[in-house]
Amino acid sequence: MAQLVLFTGGARSGKSWRAEQYASQQAEHVVYIATAQAGDAEMQHRIGLHQAQRPSHWQTLEAPLAVSQTLAQLPNGSVVLLDCLTLLVSNLLLANETQPEPIVQAEIQAILAAQQAHDLHLIVVTNEVGMGIVPAYALGRVYRDLIGRANQQIAAAANAVYLVVAGIAIEVRQLQAAWAK
């Protein structure tokens, strides 16, 4: 049965680590979809750290712009860890600065459709970026809004949502207000 699980939190909260732990409990073979691009040495180092911490027998697929197409090519029932939605939205925004919203919305809808159509157990990692200051520049505000809406769409479709704070995963659905259910 298709499952969608979302791990969100701030930068360096432990969300990727917790999502990897969760994925390991679901299956031995996990397909890891990476959205990061090594544009500089520091990012290359970060990617290397992520690669080193996950099991070497996991399959890694790089999909900085077309996650939905990658999901659509996977065998039915696969356990998939998407790390991360935040970078996917950033990549799509930077590739489509003049009209990013329809592109991002279409990709989120296509991800959700592929997850259902292929009966995937999809685990999504994202950042909660809207809890800080309002960005001083327009592109930053557009990005904050795009990822906020994308996170809401994924969370609305998810079977479970975990907020990771200081390495501790909190099950958000259990804490949801009764009137909002």
- The secondary element (H helix, E strand) that includes residue 36 is none
- Paired residues of 33 in beta bridges: 61, 82
Is 121 among the residues known to form the active site?
no
Contact between 8 and 161 (Cβ < 8 Å): yes
Annotated catalytic residue, options 29, 45, 50, 57: 50
Binding site, annotated residues: 9-16, 34-36, 62, 83
Contact between 71 and 118 (Cβ < 8 Å): yes
Q: CA-based Rg of the chain, rounded to a whole angstrom? A: 16
DSSP annotation of 28 reads S
The residues, ordered by sequence, that sit 6+ positions from 49 with a Cβ below 8 Å of its Cβ are none
Q: For residues 138 and 11, give the distance between their C-alpha atoms in angstroms, rounded to a whole number.
A: 22
Q: For residues 89 and 104, give the distance between their C-alpha atoms in angstroms, rounded to a whole number.
A: 6
The residues, ordered by sequence, that sit 6+ positions from 52 with a Cβ below 8 Å of its Cβ are none
Binding site, annotated residues for GTP: 9-16, 34-36, 62, 83
Which residues are identified as catalytic?
A: 50
